[in-house]
Structure 1
Amino acid sequence: MEKFNVQNVIKTLEELVNIPSPSGNTQKVITAVENWLRPLGVEMKKNRKGGLIVTLPGVDETMHRMLTAHVDTLGAMVKEIKNDGRLSLTMIGGFRWNAVEGEYCKIETSDGKEYTGTILVHQSSVHVYKNSGEVKRDEKNIEVRIDAPVKNVEGVRKLGIEVGDFVSFEPRFQVTDQGFVKSRHLDDKASVAILMNIIKDVIEEKRPLPYTTHFLISNNEEIGYGGNSNIPLETVEYIAVDMGAIGDGQATTEYCVSICAKDSSGPYHTGLRKKLVQIAKDQKLNYAVDIYPFYGSDASAAIRSGHDIIHGLVGPGIDASHAHERTHTDSLENTSKLIYHYLFSTMNENN
């Protein structure tokens, strides 16, 4: 970790966000992660839900750790083909329609064809619709304008587009000269990129982990159940690496690693949270302890499913979550260093 280079995380992140992966359609991005990790010679397997589990052996094989980050994103599906050749949508994940209005998108057909389009409110033209600004942004009024010469249902179906086809949002990834990383889907591909590079660092350093550790790249978190299974019985500590929410009343910033004390599911394990805070202090990291009022994670999903684990949640601070997201290289670095040093910390099952 002395040789940590945040640019490696950013490079991996850019590759990930440019692979469309709304929940339910994550095969391509999971394969990309698998191919990225394969040269490292790590043990990998896929679960039946399509997630990827990477295991690094540790000195102690009786107590395990598990860390998870999710590669699935927000998105949509075609709900209806309209008479004028436009598409109505149904949401995948929890966002607001105004957050994607005006966004470029891709429609993927069941046979793998892709078409581009734009997400618009039906009454977009102010020269035609006097109340354009007041129209409610909802499932009734938001639609996709396909970049193809279609004027009716039949024309759309000739393209191969049908109800149930996935629609993904263009990420528009950008890194500024001030170190800001702007993109859709930083939730949670920023954390996936961090875990991938930490795995690489641990392998290349040939430094044995104190405990056997599993890394789950989950693929259904945005719809609530990505990390609630395939948790080995030996697992004691389970940490979700996911974005830290920023806004009024929040302590988290775009520059720190966020350590969650409580979200909508209730408090996270107090002892594990205190340990993470102590590691952050010892390593002189920029961190914040925070509460996310409208939030759930793979760790809370695991607890709800009945697993007897100590659960925690950390991640980079992400501004404008589920909209036009932004973080900073400092946040990626602080999060990476906290997780790395946590992996080599001593575990106390009774903390």
Structure 2
Amino acid sequence: MKNMQKLDIDHEYLKQTLLELLAIPSPVGFTDEVVHYTCGKLGELGVPYELTRRGAIRATIKGETDRPACAVVAHLDTLGATVRLIKDNGRLALLPLGSWSSRFAEGARVTLFTDIGPFRGTILPLMASGHAFNNQVDDQPTNWTQVELRLDENVHSKADLTQLGVNIGDFIAIDPQPELHENGYISSRHLDDKAGVAALLAAIKAIVESGLSLPVYFHPMFTITEEVGFGASAVLDARISEMVSIDIAIPAEGQNSREHGVTVAICDSSGPFDYHLTRELLRLCKDHEIEHQRDVFPYYFSDSAAALRAGYDIRHALLGFGADASHGYERTHLSSLHAIAELVTLYAQNGPVVARDRRAIGPLEGFPHQWKPEDIEEPTPMPHPKEFL
């Protein structure tokens, strides 16, 4: 085992950072303010950073060498909606931003951001009153054409909404409604991925305050378009050979994820994560007694996968905190975020999983094995057919 330390995580910092992040509306495409907040947190810790044109963040904690470097990424954008149509009845039809069910939108309190200022409202099904529609309230379909936004303003027509300053394409942020319980559970919308961001910032704080010397440059990164499939497609550096995403894991029937410990993903809808990096993360969990489990996600896409699709030749992996009812009223446990942060502090101290990766391309020498022929037992020969006679 390498001489590594599982660093202490500031639990109160993690909780407060999460609540502050949740309080900042950041539906995908409307993320500038949460970018400013995150850069402020990095500045408080004395960690330098750079931004892409649109606001993805790449921070740097220096190590002994910058080639190869490693990265850990979480995303700042959340689910949301935009105005699809201004309706004659003074209400608004919606287009979802990101993939989520209108079932979870019904009853949500929201903020509509217009060019002249914000307005409050509620997303309702088209037939919202049992006193008016009786059983039709329960029988109506569940889809985005069956909901509308009612603004808390004196608007009863398309003209009223236009006069108010509402336009097609205005952004709609869904209230998170967080509840943090004494037993460690937190329920809220948008834990995906603001809980992951909070865990990453808590890990950065622990690394900086420890004063440890890292073997390679460590790049915490924060992206702004994960919910629409772009993710870490424009923030990487050619010197980075590995990237670990922090995002939700899926506790549900047929899945192996839990709301406690770290879930190490083996595969998602884009295919398998890197064999060697994934096994190294599992080894770190075992060696340092971090509660963990493995899972596969057939209906899932992450920052890491987006980077590969963008053409980056990196080793990629995914660490998840269990988020029950994903993309709805989510719930996780703070112990899971704590475990994620601890594992990130160990990963930053670990160094490259394959030393050869300092070169983007090179000879076979140093290329790893997943298994070796001598590790496989020779199969027992089958008896000759005559021996059965």
- Residue 120, structure 1, aligned to residue 121, structure 2: no
CA distance, structure 2, for counterparts of residue 230 and residue 41 of structure 1 = 20
Question: TM-score under structure 2 normalisation?
Answer: 0.88
1:88 to 85, 90, 93: 93
Deviation of 1:317 after TM superposition, in Å, equals: 1.0
> SS at 1:132's partner residue?
helix
Q: Report whether the alignment pairs 1:243 with 2:248.
A: yes
Pair 1:205-2:210 in alignment: yes
**What CA distance in whole angstroms lies between the structure 2 residues aligned with 1:175 and 1:201?**
23
1:160 is aligned, of 151, 161, 165, to: 165
Contact 1:54–1:215 under 8 Å retained in 2: yes
Q: Where does residue 110 of structure 1 map in the other structure?
A: 115
**Residue 74 (structure 2) pairs with residue 69 (structure 1):** yes
- Alpha-carbon shift at residue 5 of structure 1 (Å): 2.7
User: Which whole-Å deviations, capped at 9, do the CAs of 1:249-269 have from their partners, x for residues lacking one?
Assistant: 111111121100001001001
Shift in alpha-carbon separation, 1:172–1:264, aligned structure 2, 3 A = same
Within 5 A, what are the aligned runs for 1:170-209? 170-209=175-214
Which residue does 2:174 correspond to in 1? 169
Q: CA deviation at 1:230?
A: 2.6
Partner Cα separation in structure 2 for residue 277 and residue 149 of structure 1: 57
Q: Give the alignment partner of residue 25 of structure 1, picking from 12, 27, 30.
A: 30
Q: What secondary structure is seen at the aligned counterpart in 2 of 1:204?
A: helix
- Which residue is 2:151 aligned to? 146
Q: Is the 8 A contact 1:184 1:325 kept in 2?
A: yes
**Gaps (5+ residues) in structure 1?**
none
Deviations 1:269-297 (A, max 9, x none): 11111111110011111101100110000
Cα 1:104–1:129 change in 2 (3 A) is same
Counterpart residue number, 2:44: 39
Is this contact kept in 2: 1:6–1:332, CA < 8 A? no
Match of 2:279, SS?
A: helix
- Alpha-carbon displacement from aligned partner over 1:158-195 (angstroms, at most 9, x marks no partner): 22111110001110111112110111000000111111
TM-score (norm 1): 0.97
Q: How many residues align?
A: 350
- The corresponding residue for 1:129 is 133
Q: Which amino acid aligns with 1:185?
A: H
SS in 1 for 2:139: coil
Larger radius of gyration: 2
In the alignment, structure 1 residue 218 sits paired with structure 2 residue 223:
yes
Counterpart contact for 2:10–2:202, Cα < 8 Å: no
Structure 2 residue 319 is the aligned partner of structure 1 residue 314: yes
Aligned partner letter, 2:58: I
Q: Distance in 2 between matches of 1:230 and 1:218?
A: 8
Matched, 1:234 2:239: yes
Q: Distance in 2 between matches of 1:230 and 1:153?
A: 42
The answer to whether the 8 A contact 1:65-1:212 is kept is yes
Stretch of structure 1 that moved more, 291-300 or 47-56: 47-56
**Per-residue CA shift, 1:190-218, capped at 9, x if unaligned?**
11111112112222222122111212110
What percent of counterpart residues are identical? 33
CA contact (8 A) 2:257 2:263 kept: yes
Q: How far is the alpha carbon of 1:77 from its aligned partner?
A: 0.1
Structure 1 Cα separation of the partners of residues 242 and 201 of structure 2: 19
Q: 1:179 corresponds to which letter in structure 2? A: G
Q: Aligned to 1:128, what secondary structure does the other structure show?
A: helix
What do the CA deviations read for 1:113-134 (whole angstroms, capped 9, x no partner)? 1111111101111121131111
Q: Which amino acid in structure 2 is aligned with residue 264 of structure 1?
A: S
1:277 to 2:277 alignment:
no
1:17 CA drift (Å):
0.8
Q: Tell me if the contact between 2:98 and 2:227 (Cα under 8 Å) persists in the aligned partners.
A: yes
For residues 16-66 of structure 1, the C-alpha deviation after alignment (integer angstroms, 9 at most, x for no partner) is 011000000000111011112212222111102321111111112221111
> Does the 8 A contact of 2:248 with 2:322 survive in 1?
yes
Quick one: distance in 1 between partners of 2:22 and 2:283?
32
Post-superposition shift, 1:229? 1.8
The alpha-carbon deviation at position 2 of structure 1 amounts to: 4.3
Paired residues of 2:48 and 2:61 also in contact (CA < 8 A): yes
Task: Tell which deviates more after alignment, 19-28 or 152-161.
Answer: 152-161
Partner of 1:300: 305
RMSD: 1.2
